[in-house]
Amino acid sequence: MHIRLRSNLLAAMLLCFAFVAQAQQKKDITLEDIYKKGTFRSQSVYGVNWMNDGRYYSSQVPDATNKVYDIVKYDVTTGKPVATIIEGENLVPTGSNQPIQYDDYTFSSDEQKVLFSTDTEQIYRRSSKAEFYIYDIASKKLTKLSDGGKQLYASFSPDAKRVAFARGNNMFVTDLSSMQETQITTDGKFNAIINGYADWVYEEEFSFAKGFHWSPDGKKIAFYTFDEANVPEFNMQMWGELYPQDNKFKYPKAGEANSTVKVSVYDVNSGKTVKMDTGNEADIYIPRIKWTNDANLLSIQKMNRLQNTLEILHANATTGKTSVVLKETDKAYIDITDDLTYLKDGKYFIHSSEVKGYNHLYLYSMNGKLVRQITDGNWEVSEYVGYDEKNDRLYYMSTEVSPLERHLYSISSKGKKKQRLTDKEGTHHVNMSNDFTYYLDYYSAANQVPTVSLHTAKDGKLIKMLEDNQKLQNTLAQYDLAKQEFFTMSTSEGNKLNGWMIKPTDFDPNKKYPVLMFVYGGPGSQTVTNSWGGSNYLWYQVLADKGLIVVSVDNRGTGARGADFKKVTYANLGKYEIEDQIEAAKWLGNQSYVDKNRIGIWGHSFGGYMTLLGLTKGEGVFRAGISVAPVTNWRFYDTIYTERYLKTPQENAAGYDDNSPLFFADKLKGELLLIHGTGDDNVHFQNAVAMQDALIDANKQFESFYYPNRNHGIYGGNTYMHRFTMMTDFLERNLINPKGESVNQ
């Protein structure tokens, strides 16, 4: 008995030692793992192009030679290929003996032709141009769309007979039976008139670049025309050549002239173009146009310059005559979405609105009369997915469970039979099949790697796990990871703010730790969500391993908590946001395990702006900050975004100046690292230059770094590795292991 007991005890001890040894063998994440080696790269299900039969989708697949890509048809229920639709080796244009290397593809409505894009050139965030080819599946013939130069946004007509595209600021259409190309507009001119695609500010702030749409019957094209002749021109220098090159483009800064915009409809049979009547006022926005299910009725959304009045117009495409069917006003501003949906019966449309304090869905008759509110409650419809008219099921994503989560629901158009279709706590994004039979669920949660699964839409039933990222999970299991934890705090004014915290894995509540706060904080945004944090989350693991607590708090002005919480910052952008971040820092400083003298802050873009406000208006609560690509005065930023939240500088000068860090440079307390890309077409390098000038005038020492020719994201090649190495070093010197007190304290 004693011998067996000793044996068992010895075995238990050895097992215990083995576990301890295994725990001790866990690795620490390095910057090279994140930004150079791709150690933690997650997998997903990309390129899912739903086919007419919702059971199938197509995708690009490298063939046996890996030199070309085939188009393969998959059965979504099994995830297995069922047929090769197009052999990549057959994509050989006339006059060549080599197949094209395509970037993307689109099927015609009858799935008999395919439009391929090649040699794509990125222009701005959403815009690009490419060479396009038409492939006929039956004849296996590949034809170049045009010999006139690269095209923008080539698109099949719904009847698959034509392709429309833009080029050189003009619109064109090609008849596929004859390949005859017709130029629709002739007045296009660089930096003056744009036909068929958006100007810079519409692309950036209204989130679209393609500026034309086919009518449902394929016989008409509605398109935008932007006259940007009077918009001031911005000039950036691009470095690298013996003589730097000028990059000039039209950029309307707050209070300056916008493009004047009109909408026209071209009839492909008659060749006539008719301008739609949007009223006599020129200083307006037209953030959306879309066809109703009536091939002669175009829907136009029109806004005033302050963006607090929205009108939905219905336009007769033949005459251009319009009527206002719905008008909405707001004491602050109205956000534009893509939720407007016209029902196939031609009698109703669905529209989302914050009119009652939370974003919800409403059903209207075609004359704009409210039929009913479909969704209701103190929560937000965060995304409208679509309406299955056959089964009267409307699908949407919402925050009903929590502002930190996103879930899929269905409901009838009568607002009945509401059903939650996603059950796992966290954040879900869905890709719904065209016939509303299936959806792909792209899911993640804090501390939970992303997965992709297939479900039936009617009940949310799981059919198949398509990507579980088990390889990434196994990789992460080899590393010592700190958990991301959520918390809620209250400010002195009683405002409840959501936050998350990452503590070191060897956290000792009896010690005092430095804290780094990550902030974005801009209107309608969120950094505090129950979702996988990606590369930033992994960088925070590196910092936590160095003894730093990382925290993020969503201030007033952020999203998912209703219009009042979001729009309280109206006309005072930055004021309440930074007040909340300062209060959050003080709250953290009162925690027994936090060293209140070592609290830092960092952010990118709006978060960079917030970082500068924290260091200048924070009265020393922040010891150090990293400001990346910040706006330093909203007068420098574009009209649509800035005036939506601040009005124009002419109407609200104080709203611009009272919260500009340029005017508080003399109050800088704490160490500052200021980073910007010189090729930033969005938040111009001018912002960093002005801030540095103000700090120099105030005789304040700081660190700065610029990345040549990098845009707003500041990436490419070794850029991320370089940037985050520099940022980590700055935090080690000034927050984690500071030597002496800050020169600006």
Got the DSSP string for 275-318? E----S--SEEEEEEEE-SSTTEEEEEEEETTS-EEEEEEEETT
- Within 13 A of 603's CA, how many CA atoms are on the CB side? 28
Max Cα–Cα distance, the chain, nearest Å? 102
As a whole number of angstroms, the distance between CA 536 and CA 677 comes to: 19
Q: What is the pLDDT of residues 445-458, one digit of tens each?
A: 999 999 999 999 99
Residue appearing with tokens 């420098």: 636
The amino acid at residue 573 is L
As a whole number of angstroms, the distance between CA 130 and CA 152 comes to: 7
The β-bridge partners of 59 are 72
As a whole number of angstroms, the distance between CA 731 and CA 715 comes to: 21
Q: What is the pLDDT of residues 218-260, one digit of tens each?
A: 999 999 999 999 999 999 999 999 999 999 999 999 999 999 9
Predicted confidence at residue 740, as pLDDT, reads 59
As a whole number of angstroms, the distance between CA 430 and CA 439 comes to: 6
As a whole number of angstroms, the distance between CA 662 and CA 632 comes to: 6
pTM of the model: 0.94
As a whole number of angstroms, the distance between CA 315 and CA 322 comes to: 4
Question: What are 178's two structure tokens?
Answer: 């004859």
> Rounded mean pLDDT of 149-170?
98
Q: What is the pLDDT of residues 6-62, one digit of tens each?
A: 445 444 444 444 444 444 578 999 999 999 999 999 999 887 899 999 899 998 888
Helices marked H in 383-518? 470-476
**In the predicted structure, residue 199 carries a pLDDT above the cut 60:** yes
Fold of 482-736: Rossmann fold (3.40.50)
Question: What are 624's two structure tokens?
Answer: 């150090």
Give the whole-number percent of the chain exceeding pLDDT 90: 92
> Rounded mean pLDDT of 194-220?
98
Element (H, E) at 395: strand 393-398
**In the predicted structure, residue 655 carries a pLDDT above the cut 80:** yes
Predicted confidence at residue 76, as pLDDT, reads 85
- Within 13 A of 88's CA, how many CA atoms are on the CB side? 20
Got the DSSP string for 576-627? HHHHHHHHHHHHHHTSTTEEEEEEEEEEETHHHHHHHHHHHHSTTS-SEEEE
**In the predicted structure, residue 115 carries a pLDDT above the cut 80:** yes
CA-closest candidate to residue 393, choices 371, 376, 415, 422: 415
CA-closest candidate to residue 681, choices 243, 259, 170, 233: 233
CA-closest candidate to residue 298, choices 272, 325, 271: 325
CA angle 639, 643, 646 (to 5 degrees): 145
CA-closest candidate to residue 612, choices 624, 595, 599: 624
Buried b / exposed e along 536-569 (16+ C-beta atoms within 10 A)? ebbbbbbbbbbbbbbbbbbbbbbbbbbbebbbeb
Predicted confidence at residue 42, as pLDDT, reads 95
Predicted confidence at residue 79, as pLDDT, reads 80
Q: What is the pLDDT of residues 330-353, one digit of tens each?
A: 999 999 999 999 999 999 999 999
Predicted confidence at residue 24, as pLDDT, reads 56
The amino acid at residue 348 is Y
CA-closest candidate to residue 342, choices 294, 280, 395, 400: 294
Backbone region of residue 233 per phi and psi (left: phi > 0; alpha: psi in -120 to 50; beta: other values): beta
Sheet holding 419-420, edge to edge: 381-388, 393-398, 407-411, 419-420
Mean residue pLDDT of the chain comes to 95
Domain spans of the chain?
Answer: 482-736
Assign 713 to helix, strand or coil. coil
Residue appearing with tokens 């001890």: 13
Q: What is the pLDDT of residues 75-103, one digit of tens each?
A: 988 888 999 999 999 999 988 889 999 99
Residue appearing with tokens 């939240």: 645
CA-closest candidate to residue 442, choices 465, 420, 461: 465
Predicted confidence at residue 380, as pLDDT, reads 98
Known catalytic residues are 605, 680, 712
**In the predicted structure, residue 389 carries a pLDDT above the cut 90:** yes
Predicted confidence at residue 2, as pLDDT, reads 45
Assign 422 to helix, strand or coil. coil
As a whole number of angstroms, the distance between CA 533 and CA 538 comes to: 8
DSSP code of residue 402: -
**In the predicted structure, residue 67 carries a pLDDT above the cut 90:** no
Assign 704 to helix, strand or coil. strand
